[in-house]
């Protein structure tokens, strides 16, 4: 279904990234080590890794940049301040 976050294509793309960037050719000695390394990977992926399609920003930086634009726009927009 369009716009559904549980769409199969989105899930498959996410799993492919995890498999190719994180799991490929690695061996973990325990579930605890896997969990700890995965936590570090997710942190790196969201906060540090830059991406060309996101104006060379990390996903978190990109999201915050666009949220600031939305908040500034809604505060400065006189139409949004009208009570209906």
Q: What is the pLDDT of residues 15-59, one digit of tens each?
A: 899 999 999 889 999 999 999 999 999 999 989 999 888 889 998
Secondary structure (DSSP) of 28-61 = -SSHHHHHHHHHHHHHIIIII--BGGGTTB-HHH
Residue 7 lies in a domain: no
Return phi, psi of residue 42, to 5°.
Answer: -65, -40
Split at pLDDT 50, 70, 90, the class of 5 is low
Residue 65 lies in a domain: yes
| Strand (E) or helix (H) holding 84 | none
Return phi, psi of residue 27, to 5°.
Answer: -130, 135
Residue 1 lies in a domain: no
Range of the domain at 72: 14-81
Residue 3 lies in a domain: no
Residue 6 lies in a domain: no
Number of domains in the chain: 1
Residue 61 lies in a domain: yes
Q: Note every long-range contact of 33-41, with CB atoms under 8 Å and residues 24 or more positions apart, other chains counting.
A: none
Residue 27 lies in a domain: yes
Residue 44 lies in a domain: yes
């Amino acid at each position: 279904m369009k716009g559904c976050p549980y769409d199969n294509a989105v899930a498959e793309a996410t799993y492919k990234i995890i498999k190719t960037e994180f799991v490929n050719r690695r061996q973990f000695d325990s579930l605890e080590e896997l969990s700890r390394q995965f936590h570090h990977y997710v942190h790196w992926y969201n906060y540090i890794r830059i991406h060309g399609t996101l104006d060379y920003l990390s996903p978190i930086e990109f999201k915050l940049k666009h949220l600031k634009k939305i908040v500034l726009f809604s505060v400065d927009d006189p139409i949004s301040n009208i009570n209906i």
